[in-house]
Amino acid sequence: MSNPTDFNEELDGYVKIDQYNTQHVERVANHYKDILEALGENPNREGLLKTPERVAKALQFLTHGYDIDAAEVLRGAMFEEEYSQMVVVKDIEVYSMCEHHMLPFFGKAHIAYIPNGHIVGLSKIPRVVDIYARRLQVQERLTNEIRDCIQQTLNPAGVAVVIECKHMCMAMRGVQKQNSVTTTSAFTGAFQSDVTRSEFLRLITASLD
């Protein structure tokens, strides 16, 4: 983020470093003071004095994916390798914000690709998920963006993405269905074959126990 200010907090040997654009924080915080008043609250009472600033910082963190090039992250950890079988990374935690109501949706992503001359560092797959999830999103677009980034950057023989999420816009408001789960999927190349896709689905539902 441009013009960041570092906030360091050490607790039990762990150093937390947050970066915020102070101009953006101030601008968003000022709007949230108005929002609190419009909701019938007093933004000057003790419990809410710092709430606008906290919300502004939280939103900046939750949408920091706009500032990161996911393809560049993948290219930074690509390696030539003749491995040509399926690589699966499953149960990747997903936390994102629905663009319609700006309420969270969260769950898990399961991703596979079949290398075609190049593999990628395994940690970069969850990183790509985070980059696209840390934006205002809909689950359908999030699924496609992850698929397209991996396909276009690694040029594998195929990519498979399945995402399962609960949406607070359904659980907390609207139809108020707390236990509903939304599943989306996207496939390219070899995963468009029933046999390969079925193997992927079997692997992401299998237990190692």
The question of whether 31 is a catalytic residue gets the answer: no
At 68, give phi and psi (nearest 5°). Answer: -120, 135
- Return the percent helix, strand and coil in the chain, to nearest 5: 40, 30, 30
The question of whether 101 is a catalytic residue gets the answer: yes
Catalytic residue among 60, 137, 139, 151: 139
For 37-46, b/e burial (b = at least 16 CB within 10 A) is eeeeeebeee
Burial (Cβ within 10 Å: 0-12, 13-18, ≥19) of residue 6:
exposed
Catalytic residue among 100, 140, 152, 178: 100
Catalytic residue among 24, 41, 64, 169: 169
> Where do we find the tokens 């007093």?
42
Name the amino acid, one letter, at 104.
Answer: P
Helix (H, G, I), strand (E, B) or coil at 169: helix
Catalytic residue among 60, 98, 149, 165: 98
Catalytic residue among 41, 53, 101, 199: 101
The question of whether 98 is a catalytic residue gets the answer: yes
Catalytic residue among 99, 140, 152, 178: 99
Known catalytic residues?
A: 98-101, 139, 167, 169
